[in-house]
Amino acid sequence: MIRILIADDQDLIRFGLRTLIDNEDGLACAGEAADGLTAVAETVRTRPDIVLMDIRMPGIDGLEATRRIAADPALAATRIIVLTTFEQDQYVFDALRYGASGFLLKDTTPAELIRAIGVVAEGGALMSPSVTRTLVREFVTLNRRTPSPHPLLPTLTAREREIMVLAAEGLANDEIAGRLAISTATARTHVSRAMIKLGARDRAQLVVFAYQSGLLGQL
């Protein structure tokens, strides 16, 4: 059973998510929170598998709540999916940097949300290719930060570095395989090795490392 905490300041959204979760086999609602501080407290109290985290909430926002949850060693098994209206929320990249395992637009379909919960619960990272490409380009355009290369970046082979960039641009493993004329299994292996070498928690953090290292746009 996958236990899920819902953190959103809108009653209607919490009700809709809870109804969806309660009617899905294998899922259970661990609790609700209408603000960031309550989200952190309820996560500590209930130890859910997944937190569905809104960005804009009173008290502390979802970004700070994500940072606090991810920084707590006792909550290492809890994964966070950020829910966002992309056009308004420009903190998604920082949410990934602080420890979120991925993000979803609030207009996602119920079927996509259920699939996303399963992916993250199994240890994967939710990085929708189309949304990831849009997100990265938006942040590259709006945030001209000075690159800070990951100290372990030189440990990557040329192929691992190449695949890391493609993954960060939002390509799924099968798309990377098609681009480089390799098998999907080989692409998956290279992504995994890059994550291990750089100490990336998941694929989402690999995107963060690629962005911070100034690798985007090099291919």
**Which CATH number applies to 147-212?**
1.10.10.10
Domain extents for the chain? 2-126, 147-212
> 2-126 and 147-212: same fold?
no
Q: What is the pLDDT of residue 141?
A: 59
Q: Would you report the helix, strand and coil content of the chain in percent, each value rounded to 5? A: 55, 15, 35
Of the options 3.40.640.10, 3.40.50.2300, 3.20.20.140, 3.90.420.10, the CATH number for the domain spanning 2-126: 3.40.50.2300
CA-to-CA dists, residue 49 to 5, 81, 137, 179, 217, angstroms: 8, 11, 31, 35, 35
pLDDT in tens, 90-129: 666 777 778 888 778 888 889 888 988 887 887 665 655 5
Please write the tens of the pLDDT for every residue from 55-76.
889 999 999 999 999 999 999 8
